């Protein structure tokens, strides 16, 4: 009998409470673009990122912390906030040493849900930090939930592909009896050589490419360009 | 601009209410085994099938209708009911002209949810009746929801493969901007030549094969062995 820890993949925040998350590591995945932006801003020296679920909270925390306020709804910068949810906005010269207060559509919500569900650790993942994430998951030897943020609770391809990429790298270390994980792994295996072409078929691509964000989306599926691991601790996302 | 009707796939009953189901045809998919059994019993001459969500209701309706009571929970026949949820139980010599009162874990629940959501028509599909289903969907020219029953709300591979098989056959007639549908179509394309081998990797296979149901499961992924279309009308599943 195997004593390896278990790994499950959830395809929508709506499905999180089906699983026992207690004492597990939950990986928040929002490839387009929250968790790509989070990795990038921290990689480039942001002192911390405060993820919030409402615009009002974002503006208020921007005032009290002196942080930069940023966020998007439906792919567009929100009135009253200073910046958007594009990793390209957060260069080192701009973000180093600063606090970023970030509100996003899907990723932030799942981050808060994961914490409330009793996870022992909440981290974020996307292609720009895939190696740092996988190295951590292998060494911890704990149960894992790969949590796809989806789009307004609807299944999306890009978060699934990332889950599949992670599973392909770490599966030898885990017990996996989970059809979502099996599907994700196979979808990534099918497309790892044409991922920048394939993401052009996703609904999210059509939504965001209308705003001229093609280069952003290609960045978000490029491995290890911001290879640090964000941990969610005491309300902040920080590097360990 | 396209005037084709839309097609979406939902991967769990939990995700049904995200979509506008009004005036749509909802296809209930529970390959292992409710919708395979439903097609088979009607194909073999059952006068009607009454799907119910509780065992008590099943027993009660069995008495008032004189019908055969049948059902499973977690793949096993329920105490107090006469038969299970295996298509092999419902030969013509046994079921012809009879009423079947059926309670199942996942399929029955989604059937009731679909009706309550305002769908204009609710039908059931599985590989044994795939051609009858696809012919109907093409001629109706209405919006379609392919509803995977899943397993206790968890994504499953076999319902997804069936959704993908349907999409592969009918996609020219519909507008499809839906990542679930794209994934389902690709998963089926990947496995249509090895489906009986591939289903051995699913969690459901491991669950049910423990009860010696391998031949049942292979039947459930074989096309057109019970090629009729069950409609859900006034509480009964019947052939049009």
Taking CA A193 as the corner, what is the angle to CA A192 and CA A196, rounded to the nearest 5 degrees? 85
B157 and A179: CB-CB below 8 Å?
Answer: yes
SS3 content of chain A, % helix, strand, coil (to 5): 45, 20, 35
* Burial class of residue B65 in the structure, from the number of CB atoms within 10 Å of its CB (0-12 exposed, 13-18 middle, 19+ buried): middle
Cα B168 to its chain centre, rounded Å, is: 18
| Amino acid A211: pLDDT | 81
> CA–CA separation, A185 vs A179, rounded Å?
10
**Region B7-239: CATH code:** 3.90.1560.10
Residue A194 confidence (pLDDT): 96
Give the CA distances from residue A117 to residues A145, A153, B14, B142, in Å, rounded to whole numbers and listed in that order: 12, 17, 18, 40
**Span B110-130, average pLDDT:** 94
Of B35, B78, B40, B81, nearest in space to B62 by CA: B81
Query: What residues of A are in contact with residue B15 (Cβ under 8 Å)?
Result: 12, 14, 153-155
- pLDDT for res A107: 83
Q: Which residues on chain A are in Cβ contact (under 8 Å) with B204?
A: 179
Out of B12, B157, B177, name the one closest to residue A203 (CB). Answer: B177
Is the CB of B77 inside 8 Å of chain A's CB atoms? no
Q: Does B64 touch chain A (CB under 8 A)?
A: no
Helices then strands, counting H and E runs in chain B, come out as 10, 10
Residues B111 and B97: their CA atoms lie apart, in Å, by 23
Rounded average pLDDT over B98-104: 94
Q: What is the CA radius of gyration of chain B?
A: 17
DSSP class of residue A52 equals E
| Angle (deg, nearest 10), helices B179-191 and A179-191 | 80
For A160, the closest chain B residue by CA position comes to B183
Q: In sequence order, what DSSP letters do the residues of B58-90 get, joined into one string?
A: HHHHHHHH-PEEEEEETTEEPTT-SB-S-GGG-
Residue ranges for chain A with pLDDT beneath 70: 1-2, 75
Query: Mean pLDDT over residues B92-102, rounded?
Result: 98
Closest residue to B186, CB basis, from A153, A178, A187: A187
Residues of A in contact with B31 (CB under 8 A): none
Is the pLDDT reported for residue B115 higher than 90? no
Q: First-to-last CA distance in chain A? A: 34
Task: Work out the pLDDT band at B191, boundaries 50, 70, 90.
Answer: very high
The pLDDT score that the predictor gives to residue B105 is 77
Q: Which residues of B touch A11 (CB under 8 A)?
A: 11-12, 155
For the domain made up of A7-234, give the CATH fold: putative 2-phosphosulfolactate phosphatase (3.90.1560)
pLDDT for the residue numbered A150: 94
The Cα–Cα gap between A192 and A165 comes to: 8
Q: What is the pTM of this model?
A: 0.96
CA distance B162 to chain A (A): 14
Taking the CA of residue A15 and the nearest CA in chain B, the distance in Å comes to 7
Residue A19 sits at φ, ψ, to 5 deg, of -105, 150
Mutation target vs B (from A157, A183, A192; most B CBs, 10 A cutoff): A183
Helices in chain B by DSSP H: which ranges?
34-43, 55-65, 92-95, 107-116, 130-140, 157-170, 179-191, 195-198, 203-209, 214-220
Domain ranges of chain A: 7-234
**Which among A113, A119, A96 is positioned nearest to A24, based on CA atoms?**
A119
Interchain contact B108–A (C-beta under 8 A): no
* Whole-number Cα distances in Å, A237 to A43, A52, A90, A114: 12, 11, 15, 14
pLDDT per residue as tens digits for the range B46-87: 999 999 989 999 999 999 999 999 998 776 788 899 999 999
**Cβ pair A182:B160 closer than 8 A:** no
**CA atoms lying within 13 Å on the CB side of residue A235:** 8
Which of A155, A188, A198 is the best residue to mutate to test the B interface, defined by the most B CB atoms within 10 Å of its own CB? A155
**Cβ atoms of A239 and A42 closer than 8 Å:** yes
> B20: Cβ–Cβ under 8 A, 6 or more apart, which residues?
none
Q: Residue B178's closest chain A neighbor by CA? A: A203
Q: Look up tokens 């044994």; give the residue.
A: B128
Does the pLDDT of residue B1 top 60, yes or no?
A: no
CB contact under 8 A, B182 and A157: yes
State the residue for tokens 């207060």: A101
CA of B160: which chain A residue's CA is closest?
A: A183
Task: Give residue A203's Cα distance to chain centre.
Answer: 18
- Considering only CB atoms, A15 lies closest to which of B14, B183, B206, namely B14
How many residue pairs from chains A and B have C-beta atoms closer than 8 A? 74
pLDDT tens by residue, B132-187: 999 999 999 999 999 999 999 999 999 999 999 999 999 999 999 999 999 999 99
Chain A CB contacts of B182 below 8 Å:
157, 201-202
Which of 168-227 (B) contact A at CB < 8 A?
177-180, 182-183, 186-187, 190, 201-204, 206
Contact at CB, B14 and A14, closer than 8 angstroms: yes
**A26 Cα to chain B: minimum distance (Å):** 17
Query: What per-residue confidence (pLDDT) applies to B212?
Result: 82
Average pLDDT on B110-128 reads 93
Helix (H, G, I), strand (E, B) or coil at B42: helix
* DSSP β-bridge partners for residue A154: A151
**Looking at beta carbons, which residues of chain A come within 8 Å of B178?**
154, 203
Q: In this complex, which of B157, B177, B183 lies closest to A182 when CB atoms are compared?
A: B157
The H-or-E segment that residue A73 falls in is strand A68-73
Look at residue B240 and tell me whether its pLDDT is greater than 80: no
B108 vs A170, more confident: A170
| Predicted pLDDT at B108 | 82
List CB contacts (< 8 A) between B11 and chain A.
11-12, 155
Q: Do A179 and B154 touch (CB under 8 A)?
A: yes
- CA A201 to the chain's CA centroid: 20
Residue located via tokens 């770490």: A170
Tell me phi and psi for residue B181, to 5 degrees: -70, -40
- Residue A124 gets the label, from left (phi > 0), alpha (psi -120 to 50) or beta, of beta
User: Do residue A15 and residue B186 have CB atoms under 8 angstroms apart?
Assistant: no
């Amino acid at each position: 009998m195997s004593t390896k820890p278990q790994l499950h993949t959830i395809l929508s925040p709506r499905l999180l409470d089906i699983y026992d998350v207690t004492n597990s590591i939950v990986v928040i995945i929002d490839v387009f673009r929250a968790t790509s932006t989070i990795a990038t801003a921290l990689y480039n020296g942001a002192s911390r990122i405060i993820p919030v679920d409402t615009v009002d909270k974002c503006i208020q925390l921007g005032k009290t912390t002196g942080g930069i306020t940023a966020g998007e709804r439906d792919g567009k910068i929100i009135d009253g906030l200073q910046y958007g949810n594009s990793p390209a906005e957060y260069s080192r010269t701009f973000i180093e040493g600063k606090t970023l207060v970030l509100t996003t559509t899907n990723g932030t919500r799942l981050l808060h849900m994961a914490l409330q569900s009793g996870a022992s650790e909440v981290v974020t993942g996307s292609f720009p930090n895939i190696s740092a994430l996988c190295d951590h998951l292998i060494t911890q030897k704990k149960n894992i939930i790969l949590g796809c943020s989806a789009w307004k609770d609807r299944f999306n391809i890009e978060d699934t592909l990332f889950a599949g990429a992670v599973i392909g790298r770490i599966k030898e270390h885990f017990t996996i009896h989970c059809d979502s994980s099996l599907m994700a792994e196979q979808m990534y295996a099918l497309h790892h050589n044409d991922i920048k072409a394939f993401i052009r078929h996703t609904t999210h691509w059509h939504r965001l490419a209308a705003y001229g964000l093609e280069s952003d989306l290609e960045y978000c599926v490029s491995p290890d360009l911001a290879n640090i691991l964000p941990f969610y601790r005491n309300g902040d996302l920080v590097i360990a």
